Amino acid sequence: MGRGQTAMTRGMWLKVVVAVVVVAVVDDSAAFEVFEATVSDIQAAFGNGELSSCAELVGLYVDRIGVYDELLRSLVTVNPNVTQNAVALDGMSSEERAARPLWCIPFVAKDNINKAASQFGMPTTGGSDTLRDSYAEENAVMLQLLLDAGAVLLGSSNMATLALEGNNTYSTVLGQTRNTFDPRRSPMGSSGGTGSAVSASLCAFGLGSDTDGSIQNPANVQSLVGLRPTYNLVPPRGTLPANDWQDTFGPMARSVQDVGMVMNVLDNAKPVRSPVAPTHTYPTLPPAGSLVGVRVGLLNDTLYPFPGDTSPVDPDVRAAVRTIAGEMEALGAEVVILN
């Protein structure tokens, strides 16, 4: 999603929250605007000098977490070493930075993805109070891939306890996570903490896990792009899945381009005896005509109600779906309506 009209509902209520809970806010009008910022926006800001250091960017996100997350409750733990991590990234040479495709891109990881205690000092609870004091000896493979690519971990995101709930995100560790667009509504789950954090611009992207909709559902209700990769495509070692044989891990972000950038890093190492095909290259800016020969299925209920359902499909949703379908057709795809 871009930084325009689709963000207005979320932006308006977030500003109301600030007016209520913040007595005084330092004027940061000259600072880089992290609200709705994509990975590409951040990289461009470093390139043109709008951002001068990784520590500066991380500080903006940490400040934003401090303002909004008391209400949203999307993060179980904020990385206590995040400032030091950012300073270390600032100490890299230009060549070292260029070799890291996600240099200083802030992200969060669901609380069933291991973070090494010696590096971050954060437990991996799986959303369960019984695991509140459970610390991992090493990072999950997928987390280490992102760190090696230069990304900076902001914290662990809330999740439904042991990832056993797909329609909401409530944990016995933190409680209820709220929907960024409307705090009265469900953020869905079980990766709702990641969804709310990304949607509220508390990070640039986040990792979730998915048994049966736990990435797609939070992304859907909070206007994000979420990808449930093929099973085992992203190395699962160092995680706490709900089902070893079904769970898969993937990113949520503001755009397809951002998801492609993250997947180009995550789909970079395969476990032993992996049945998955060799590493893919994910397009981040598809050229015109890149979908020629591709057939895209469009579920009929995204345009019209289910048979017997008297509730109308939201006209804005219908219009957005039709617009996207038209854009795919313009790229050469054949869009097929599925009943």
Residues catalogued as catalytic: 110, 190, 214
Token match 């969804």: residue? Answer: 195
Sign of the Cα pseudo-torsion (16, 216, 115, 123, in order): positive
What tokens were used for 246? 């079904």
Q: Is residue 38 helix, strand or coil?
A: coil
Angle, CA of 298, 309 and 215, to the nearest 5°? 50
Between the two ends of the chain, the Cα-to-Cα distance in Å is 27
Q: Which residues share a beta bridge with 176?
A: 170
Rounded Cα distance, 303 and 321, in Å:
8
Please state, in angstroms and rounded to a whole number, the distance separating the CA atoms of residues 87 and 151: 13
Tokens of 155: 């914290």
> What distance in Å separates the CA atoms of residue 88 and residue 92, rounded to the nearest whole number?
7
Tokens of 149: 């690519």
